[in-house]
Amino acid sequence: MELSTQKLIHTFGALADLGQEIVGNGDFTEMVRTSMHLLLGTLALRRGAVIECSGPSGPLKCVAVWGLGDQMFSSLEIEEAEKQAFLSGEVAESLVKNSCSTNGFLNRHRDKLAAEGIELVFPMIVRGEVTGLVLLGGKASGEEFSNDDFETIRAMVRHIGVGIHTHRLIEQVAQRAEENRRVYDELRAIYRDTVRAFAAAIDIKDKYTQGHSERVGKYSEIIAREMGWSEEEVEGIQIAGYLHDIGKLIVDRDIINAPYNIDAKLSSELNRHPAAGYEILAPIRHPYADIPLTAKYHHERLDGRGYPDGLTDEQIPLGAKIVSLADSFDAMTTDRPYRRRRSFEDVVRDLRENSGKQFDGKVVAAFARAMLKEVKGETKERRITKVLGKSYLEGEHVPTLLSDLIADLEKPNHKDTKSQTVKMN
Ligand SMILES: [Fe+2]
């Protein structure tokens, strides 16, 4: 094979390798370094460097270097006019030793470059922009550069320039995505804070149930997480819990704060709050879809005896079933002026009896599992225990109560099955 054919094949091979390096998704600096080594290896050059323009003008940043000291690069600068000269083709690549060159960059840095053994300076031009420069030393053989060598170098320098340009674009996209994510997170935080402020406003109106909405939000979140919901859905149900009673804002304060037994008229007035909540929440663009429906249906029951629409089991959204349980659990486990909170045994009895009638057994079982994990110390956080007070879930009988409840509810023939629900209707 002729020497020139061999050289051509070698050059094509190097270009193919370079192309692969550039489209690879490895480390950027490593890509530039490998590309430069390919270039140096192809022509057997002693030294070289790839330097990047970091702004319209000013200092150049060394990305890869071989056979040269680093200190030289700190003093290299390029000016806008010098870039324009490269772009307009007024000057192309330049031989350092050509002292007649009109290249301003070269004229300013000639002595420094020559002292380091740099013989060639090539601009990397991509899409009308000088991305950086490639500096190359002489051949190890001491031979002069041929026209073929220049062609090879130009092709490889273009490849490296495209690699750097693409990397910058990817960085810009990533930066914008990061900015968007930050703005989105801020908006979510504002939304969450607003929701909590509303929850506090609801609870202030009801003097007997301070902090109720906050607790319902917390329990709902715990249940949904135990049921394997995604983090986004969990956050949604927490917000639905905070807002479930927002409709109470339109109910007269005296009715909300009336003693335990209220007459039918007042009761029907109070029972307007789920539908009113829906009316308030529906026009708002929530990041989570089911919040208005959860507020509307949090007083529905599986047996169809709830309100406002008397829905049955499968007609009730799962989110509403979760908030319904969280709501009732908080009502049973907090003191009211007219009664003390119920004992845990009593609450568990109520949950067992009403699973399949008022509550969804799967939701009750999930809540019981979450409580059992805390009681047994299987979770680091004690979120339910903290809300209920330390002593409430203490006692040797508590794990047994919860385990038995879970076992009952998870039996395949538990009353909370479809056939039983149909029978009850
Ligand atoms: Fe309610």
CB atoms within 10 A of CB 111: 10
Q: Measured in angstroms, how far is the CA atom of residue 235 from the centroid of ligand 1?
A: 20
Could you list the beta-strand ranges (E) of 29-153.
48-53, 58-66, 77-78, 94-95, 118-126, 129-137
Q: Measured in angstroms, how far is the CA atom of residue 274 from the centroid of ligand 1?
A: 6
Q: Measured in angstroms, how far is the CA atom of residue 323 from the centroid of ligand 1?
A: 9
Classify the C-alpha dihedral 280-284-287-290 as positive or negative.
positive
Contact 229, 215 (CB under 8 A): no
Q: Measured in angstroms, how far is the CA atom of residue 228 from the centroid of ligand 1?
A: 25
Q: Measured in angstroms, how far is the CA atom of residue 190 from the centroid of ligand 1?
A: 25
pTM: 0.66
Q: Measured in angstroms, how far is the CA atom of residue 327 from the centroid of ligand 1?
A: 7
The fraction of the chain above a pLDDT of 90, given in percent, is: 41
Contact 85, 61 (CB under 8 A): no
Q: Measured in angstroms, how far is the CA atom of residue 415 from the centroid of ligand 1?
A: 26
The yes-or-no verdict on residue 96 having pLDDT over 70 is: no
Report the pLDDT averaged over residues 319-343: 93
Of residues 203 and 239, the one with the higher pLDDT is: 239
257: three-class secondary structure by DSSP: coil
What pLDDT shows up at residue 260? 66
The whole-angstrom separation of Cα 219 and Cα 383 is 9
Contact 93, 154 (CB under 8 A): yes
Q: How confident is the model at residue 242 (pLDDT cuts 50, 70, 90)?
A: very high
Q: Measured in angstroms, how far is the CA atom of residue 6 from the centroid of ligand 1?
A: 84
Burial class (CB in 10 A: 0-12, 13-18, 19+), 392: middle
Candidate ranges 24-33, 124-133, 289-298; pick with highest mean pLDDT = 289-298
Structure tokens at 65: 């270097």
Q: Which residue has the tokens 């150049």?
A: 60
Q: Measured in angstroms, how far is the CA atom of residue 244 from the centroid of ligand 1?
A: 6
Q: How confident is the model at residue 334 (pLDDT cuts 50, 70, 90)?
A: very high
296: three-class secondary structure by DSSP: helix
Q: Measured in angstroms, how far is the CA atom of residue 42 from the centroid of ligand 1?
A: 77
Q: Taking every pair of C-alpha atoms in the chain, what is the biggest distance, in angstroms?
A: 107
What pLDDT shows up at residue 310? 97
Q: 83-92, 320-329, 341-350: which has the minimum mean pLDDT?
A: 83-92
Q: Measured in angstroms, how far is the CA atom of residue 377 from the centroid of ligand 1?
A: 32
Contact 109, 135 (CB under 8 A): no
